Amino acid sequence: MARRKFSLLLFLFSLIGGTVGFAAGELLLARFGSDWPNVWLMALYFGILGLATVFFCLLAETISPELAGQGWRLRYSATGWKLLVPAAFALLFAAGALFQLLYGFGLGKHQPAQDIVLVIDKSESMLQTDPGRESVTAAQKLIRRMDSRKQAAVILFNEQPELLQPLAPLSTAEDREAAAKRLDGYHAAGQTDIAKALAMAIDQLDARTNPRKSMVILISDGYSDVDLAAATAPYISQGIAIQTVGMNNTNSDAKGLLQGLAERTGGSYHGIEHASELSGVFTKIYDLNRGWHLMGERSEAGGDSPYYRYLRVFLLACIGALMGIALGIVFDNRHLAKSFGIGGAVAGFLAGAVVEFWMGLGFATGLGRFFGDLLLAAVLALSPLIVPVKPPGSLGSAASLDRSARRPADGPGRRDSGSGSFDRR
């Protein structure tokens, strides 16, 4: 008859493993999140999380074998340690890569922008709102970190727009550096005319012989008369988002204008208090539009799509199930594997729901990942309590792991062919 099992030590160690895996994953995202492809990021993220969680669960069971039994610790725990890396890291690494590929296909009508136009206000008021020319520094930093597939254009504007950098490929580091240096010599002066700047931006995009997914990043601290319907019509028809940044914007009309431009075109509005925040805002806009990963937030353009909500929760449920199966493999017990697999699916589903909800709040995304990883580890450890485990000696089940003591004919140290281990059933 199936029994419910619980190991307090394994539960506590699983939480430690989830915390260690989260911390390592955050270091990975902080160091390489803007540079590495999302497929590699998520492969390593889940590989590390799986390895850390299963490692500490295996350590707990080795210290106090409440689930697999004393016979397992005496005879087969060494095999569990040998299987740790292929079962926990390799399996979750491969799953993370595959699931990120599925998540990043863009089936929910999301594709990362490849052609980017920077439209920067250089009116006289910018002397007060951006005296340190942080807008220039932030734009240069953004251009230098764009990948080789991108094309970029730079437009400066006051009452007249100026095409500082025509839309051109950034295939090499030299291309990116040349484009960034063109921003060195501009001077703020004059009034603001956003409509003319947007007209020049769409002209640059219309002149392409090979149109691709595009976006415009518009920075301004002022207001101008703009016919929103007319100004945004070509952007809407081509699916081009305008991402807007308002600097020290206390003028409600100016804020409303920038919000309207973003909302109409499927972009996002970012209001900042200090020019020093610009670099971070540029990085956020670029990262959200370069492609989404399973443990990150999504941009407003398609970010609320039910497709991506349900897909994230489903894929994290699969991650949890595979992590549970990995535990069953290192414990060499198919009944525990079944319990951990089902419980892991539930754990992953709950973790996915928490991550999805938290990312929707739009702040402290790392905290959302922490709660999700910790919940995954906690519920996974509770799996044998949630899903009863069939005892090894029950009718129709595999023999117990200490069956050699009852089957001397098999010889010392020989494993019975009726075992519940993975290599026999």
pLDDT at 412: 45
Q: What is the C-alpha separation between 303 and 382, in angstroms, rounded?
A: 33
For the cut 50, the answer to whether the pLDDT of residue 404 exceeds it is no
Q: Which CATH superfamily is 115-290 part of?
A: von Willebrand factor, type A domain (3.40.50.410)
382 DSSP 8-state letter: T
Tell me the three state secondary structure of residue 123. coil
User: Taking a C-beta distance cutoff of 8 angstroms, is the pair 101, 113 a contact?
Assistant: no
Q: What is the C-alpha separation between 197 and 290, in angstroms, rounded?
A: 24
Q: What is the C-alpha separation between 332 and 111, in angstroms, rounded?
A: 43
pLDDT band at 2 (very low <50, low <70, confident <90, very high): confident
Mean pLDDT of 158-187: 89
Give the pLDDT confidence of 211-241 residue by residue, as tens digits: 888 999 999 988 888 999 999 999 999 989 9
3-state SS record for 70-111: HHHHHHCHHHHHHHHHHHHHHHHHHHHHHHHHHHCCCCCCCC
* Host H or E run for residue 38: helix 38-63
pLDDT band at 394 (very low <50, low <70, confident <90, very high): very low
Give the pLDDT confidence of 61-78 residue by residue, as tens digits: 999 999 988 888 888 899
pLDDT at 88: 95
Identify the CA nearest to 68 among candidates 135, 159, 5, 144.
Answer: 5
Mean pLDDT of 98-118: 78
Give the pLDDT confidence of 292-303 residue by residue, as tens digits: 788 987 765 555
Cα atoms in the Cβ-side hemisphere of radius 13 Å centred on 366: 12
pLDDT at 393: 52
Instruction: Show the CA angle centred on residue 418, arms to residues 416 and 419, nearest 5°.
Output: 70
Mean pLDDT in the chain? Answer: 85
List 217's β-bridge partners, or say none: 118, 243
Mean pLDDT of 238-263: 85
Find tokens 């519940």 and name the residue: 420
pLDDT at 218: 95
For the chain, percent of residues with pLDDT exceeding 90: 53
Phi, psi of 283 (to 5 degrees): -60, -45
Identify the CA nearest to 296 among candidates 46, 33, 31.
Answer: 33
pLDDT at 417: 36
Q: What is the C-alpha separation between 392 and 346, in angstroms, rounded?
A: 24
Ranges assigned E (strand) in 93-240: 115-121, 151-157, 161-169, 214-220
Mean pLDDT of 394-402: 40
User: Taking a C-beta distance cutoff of 8 angstroms, is the pair 392, 399 a contact?
Assistant: yes
Question: Of 93-97, 107-111, 176-180, 387-391, which one has max mean pLDDT?
Answer: 93-97
| Residue bearing the bigger pLDDT, 313 or 1 | 313
Give the pLDDT confidence of 41-56 residue by residue, as tens digits: 999 999 999 999 999 9
Please classify residue 207 by burial: count the beta carbons closer than 10 Å to its beta carbon, then call 0-12 exposed, 13-18 middle and 19+ buried.
Answer: exposed
Mean pLDDT of 9-17: 97
For the chain, percent of residues with pLDDT exceeding 70: 86
